[in-house]
């Protein structure tokens, strides 16, 4: 496994070693000793599988308390995956990083606790798997608007391509109004 730092060093792109032949492939997607050696301290308690259609934009989601680390990978399709630093005491608070994750590149993105997360589906459909370090806590759930002007996330779309956003995500707070994580 390769651990590739992003512009926000705590957010790490994980590239598995692929063993492929004419029968298919085998990829190790999680191995605690290698993650620990890469200074990623993650004890996962929950796995989620989500399917979305092209143009679906989810996020930006986080929990202000009981923060969650997420290991995100795509089982089929392709997404533009975004992490935003919402740690109030961080020197990079309000900065974001994005990576394209797909079934073809087989990469995963480690998003540590204290980061908001969102994605845009680029393929006809996408199956996304999350490994989470804490359980869903509805009382602590927060949403920042995906199109917040201060964040200015460069989502890969133009005026010809509308995205589908849930009512909950459309009603998200601005980044300035957000509850930061400690």
Q: List, in sequence order, the alpha helices (H) in 1-121.
A: 32-37
Q: What is the pLDDT along the chain (182 residues), one digit of tens a residue?
A: 999 999 999 999 999 999 989 999 899 899 999 999 999 989 999 999 999 999 999 999 999 999 999 999 999 999 999 999 999 999 999 999 999 999 999 999 999 999 999 999 999 999 999 999 999 999 999 999 999 999 999 999 866 567 899 999 999 999 999 888 76
| Active site amino acids | 61, 130
CA distance 124 to 107: 19
The answer to whether domain 43-170 has CATH 2.60.120.10 is: yes
CA distance 125 to 31: 28
The pTM (predicted TM-score) of the whole model is 0.93
């Amino acid at each position: 496994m390769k651990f590739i730092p992003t512009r926000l060093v705590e957010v790490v792109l994980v590239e598995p070693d692929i063993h492929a032949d004419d029968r298919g492939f085998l990829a190790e997607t999680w191995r605690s000793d290698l993650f620990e050696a890469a200074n990623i301290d993650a004890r996962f308690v929950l796995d989620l599988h989500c399917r979305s259609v092209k143009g679906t934009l989810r996020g930006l989601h986080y929990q202000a308390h009981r923060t969650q680390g997420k290991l995100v990978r795509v089982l089929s399709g392709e997404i533009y995956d975004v992490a935003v630093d919402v740690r109030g005491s961080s020197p990079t608070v309000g900065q974001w990083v994005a990576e394209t994750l797909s079934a073809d590149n087989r990469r995963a993105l480690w998003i540590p606790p204290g980061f908001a997360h969102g994605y845009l589906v680029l393929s006809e459909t996408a199956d996304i798997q999350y490994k989470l370090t804490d359980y869903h806590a509805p009382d602590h759930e927060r949403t920042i608007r995906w199109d917040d002007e201060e964040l200015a996330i460069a989502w890969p779309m133009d005026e010809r391509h509308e995205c589908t956003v849930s009512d909950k995500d459309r009603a998200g707070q601005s980044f300035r109004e957000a509850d930061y994580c400690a």
